[in-house]
Amino acid sequence: REKKNMTEPIEILLTLPFKDNLINELKDISPRLNFNTKVAKTPEDIPDDTWQHIEILYTSTVLPKPEEAPKLRWIQFHWAGVDHVINEPILHKTGITATTMSGVHGPQIAEYVLLMILAFSRHLNELRTLQERANWPENKVRWNEFTPIELRNSTIGIVGYGSVGRQAARILNAFGAKVLATKKDVMHPADPGYALAETGDPEGNYVHRLYPPQAIKSMLNECDFVIICVPKIAATENLISTSELSAMKTSAYLIDVSRGGIVDQKALINALKENIIAGAALDVFAEEPLPSSNPLWKLPNVIITPHISGVSRHYDERALDLFSENLHRYLTDTPLYNVIDPQKGY
């Protein structure tokens, strides 16, 4: 697969720690690849002479100034979301390609989504309260107040049909749910982008109907559960606000695994207090950590988690599998997976 007549070494810097066996697998790709690992939290942690020679950078947030890394050609980010670095000058330098980890988070975040749907549909919060009080309710209460929303024949809306949304659709489809989703280009439901084997929805087979972003309220009006998983860009800031929440059923639940700021927090708090929607599971917030004074903590119809839906014990292995695939592509001048468009913001 490697290009012929190309023998010049390629210097690669990794600013995150990885197990030796994972690095050794990368070294087997080509003798041209020289790997340097310097665990760093800031650009200043990397010596100037190291920046001068690096052609490929694997990092989370550690980025050089454009003039510090004259040979840099490709930045592979360790995460899927890049809203926190999108305005860095190096990403806008001519000749620089940057890529994300989109496709690596799908399985664990989709399972989180399923957990929250089941928690709400089976009234887990209320049942937990009864357990703490050692309270076994009378039959009428048990049958009336704890009747579940069965996933079979329920309608679930996914705002943003990317890698996470597609894996969620795959799982929910197996439960018999009807899946709706928003997507910029509704005429092309397939996605040729990177996905782990046997995950996602590459052909668009698990979504029953696609809506353009402009028709989001029409979709929300039909849903029992709404999953937010769009990237954070200028166009998605406060995407879900008062009018969108009001378009939802009063019996519907919101699950946010995107980025803080996509759901208008003040509007959401009001919707939860006024029973405009039934509840929300929130893993992301405009301010993290979420301040203890925030009223979301005390709302009984909210489940709060500390931005952990994307965590997996397999993350590093999956991330370097994608990096490995992109290294092969880089060596053969094949288009890389998950290239960032700085103008789009993702």
Query: How far is residue 30 CA from its own chain's centroid?
Result: 31
307 is catalytic: yes
* Cα diameter, the chain: 79
Task: Please tell me which residue in 105, 166, 170, 259 is annotated as part of the active site.
Answer: 259
The answer to whether residues 126 and 87 touch, using CB atoms and an 8 Å cutoff, is: no
From 241, 166, 247, select the one nearest 202 (Cα to Cα).
Answer: 166
Catalytic site includes residue 259: yes
For 165, residues 6+ apart whose C-beta sits below 8 A from its C-beta are: 158, 159, 181, 227, 229
230 CB contacts (<8 Å, ≥6 apart)?
A: 159, 160, 162, 182, 236, 239, 258, 262
Q: Is 253 helix (H, G, I), strand (E, B) or coil?
A: strand
Are 209 and 221 within 8 A, CB to CB? no
Whether the Cβ atoms of residue 23 and residue 41 lie closer than 8 Å to each other? no
- Given 122, 307, 328, 329, which residue is catalytic? 307
Quick check: helix, strand or coil at residue 37?
strand
CB atoms within 10 A of CB 325: 15
Amino acid at 158: I
- Based on the residue annotation, tell me whether 2 is a catalytic residue of this protein: no
Catalytic residue among 92, 188, 288, 314: 288
What stretches of 157-286 show up as alpha helix (H) in DSSP?
163-174, 216-220, 242-247, 265-273
Q: CA geometry: angle at 128 spanning 125 and 132, to 5°?
A: 140
CA angle 280, 252, 125 (to 5 degrees): 50
* Helix, strand, coil percent values for the chain (each to nearest 5): 35, 15, 50
| Sheet-wide strand order for 56-59 | 33-37, 10-14, 56-59, 74-77, 97-99
The catalytic residue positions are 259, 288, 307
